[in-house]
Chain A
Amino acid sequence: MNRSLPIVAATVAFMLAACATTQRKSYAKLQAAHPRSILIVPVVNNTVDVDAPDYFLSTLPIPVAERGYYVFPVNLVGHVMENEGLSDAAMVHSADATRLCALFGADAVLFVTIERWDAKYMVITTQVTVEFSYALKDGKTGETLWVHHASMVYAPGSGGGGLIGAVVNAALTKAAPNYMPLARQANANTFAYPGPGLPAGPYLPEWQKDIAAQ
C-alpha cells in the first residue's frame, strides 16, 4: 500500500507546480505562427476503455477557448471527418496537419492521445490514473508548435484529495470511477500559462504581450 505514496506525492507536487511557472519550453515557433484558431480533432485511444476518447474530447474545447483561441465545434468536426472517410482517429492523426487545417480553414490543429485511463482496484483503495499527450501543429507548415504530456493519479484515502479527490471519491462509491474531474484537471494544468500551456490567443487582452514578456 505504501508503494502508492510516492506517486501521490508526485501528483500533489505536479499539481502545485502547475500553479507556478515551470518547465521552460521554447515558444519561438508558436510565437512565429501566432494561430488564431485551433482545430481539435478526434482523440486517439491507447487504452482499453472504448468510451474514453469521446468523453475526453468533450473536456477539450473549453480550456483551449478560454486561452483566447477560436475552437472549431468538435462534434460537427468529428461528423464531417467521418463523412470524409476519416472515421478512425488514428487515421486523422497520421494525416498531414496542413491538409486537415485546409479542410476546415484552421490555423493550427491539436492532436491529443489518451495514454492511460484506468482504475486499479486494490485491497482498500482504488487508484485512478489518467495520462495524455498533446501536440499542436501548424496549419501552414505542419511543424510542431507545442507539446505537452500530463498525468494525474488519484487514490482516495492515501492522503491526496482536495476538491477533485472529493468528487472522484464520491463517484467511486457507485462502483465505477468518474474520470472526468481528473481529466479536466489535467487539461487545466496543461493549458495554463505561464506554465506549460498555451500563451494567450487573439481573444485575450494579453495576446502577443505575455509571450513577448517571457
Chain B
Amino acid sequence: MTRPTLIAAAALLTLGCAPQTKYTWGGYDEVLYAHYKAPQDHKAFVDALKTVIVQSEAHGNAVPPGCYAEYGYALLEEGQSADAVVFFGKERDKWPESRALMDKMVTYAQGKSNAHTVSQKPVPQDIVPSSGAQPLRAATASEGKTP
C-alpha cells in the first residue's frame, strides 16, 4: 500500500469511530493546558475562558460543565469577586450537580467582596465544614512519597 493510501485509510478509520462532540468546547483543553504551561499569564487565561463561554453561547449550545465555574474562579483570582459570584451562580443554575460546591464558592467570594481585601490568592478556608476537615487530613498519611 502506498503511503497516501495508508494515510487516507487511517483518516477514514478515525472518522469512522470519532463521535460528534456533544458540546462546543472552543479549545477548553488547550486553554487549561496553556494555563498550566504558563500560569503567570493569568490575564490570558481569563480572556481565553471568556472566549470559550462566548463561543459556546453563540452556537446556542449549553456552556459545557465546569466552564462558568472555572471562569468565575479565574475572575476571583483577579480580585473581581462580584463578577465571580455571577458566574458561580450561572454554573449552579445550569448544572444542579454543582450546587453544593457553587454555594460554598458564592459564600466565599461574597465574603471576600465584603472584606475589600486585596489579597492575590484566595484561601477558601470555609470550604469544608470544620467537622470534616480533620478526619480527611488524618486519612492521608502518604506525604513525601512522590517520585
Contact = CB atoms under 8 A, between A and B. Distances in A.
Interface stretch (B53-61, B93-101, B110-118): B93-101
How many of chain A's residues touch chain B, expressed as a range?
35 or more
Q: Which of B21, B23, B70, B133 has the most CB of A within 10 A?
A: B70
Contacts of B122: 79, 83
A161 interface: yes
A162 B139 contact: no
Contact of B22 (A48, A55, A66): A66
A207 B108 CA distance: 35
A83 B65 contact: no
B26 to A, nearest CB: 11
Given A19-B17, A57-B32, A83-B124, A161 B139 contact: no
Nearest to B105: A76
Q: At the interface, is chain B mostly helix, strand, loop or mixed?
A: helix
A33 interface: no
A71 interface: yes
Interface in B94-147: 95, 97-101, 105, 122-125, 127-128, 132-133, 135-137, 139-143, 145-147
Interface string A29-51: 00000001100000001111001
A72 B139 contact: no
Interface residues of B, number: 58
B140 A92 contact: yes
Interface in A42-89: 45-48, 51, 54-55, 57-59, 61-62, 65-66, 68-76, 79-80, 83-86, 88-89
A95 interface: yes
A66 B66 CA distance: 13
Contacts of A175: none
Interface stretch (A3-11, A103-111, A125-133, A148-156): A103-111
B2 to A, nearest CB: 13
Contacts of A46: 147
A70 B143 contact: no
A138 to B, nearest CB: 15
A19 B143 CA distance: 40
Contact of A19 (B13, B21, B29, B146): B13
A65 B7 contact: no
Given A58-B33, A73-B73, A161-B7, A105 B100 contact: yes
Interface in A116-136: none
Given A96-B136, A105-B100, A163-B11, A71 B127 contact: no
Nearest to B19: A66
A88 B147 CA distance: 11
Contacts of A86: 136-137, 140
A86 B143 CA distance: 10
A90 interface: yes
Contacts of A99: 132, 135-136, 139
A74 B33 CA distance: 12
B97 A37 contact: yes
Nearest to A69: B65
Given A37-B98, A83-B124, A192-B17, 17 more contacts: A19-B16, A19-B17, A48-B147, A55-B37, A65-B65, A66-B19, A71-B66, A73-B73, A75-B32, A75-B35, A80-B127, A86-B137, A95-B136, A102-B132, A104-B101, A106-B97, A162-B10
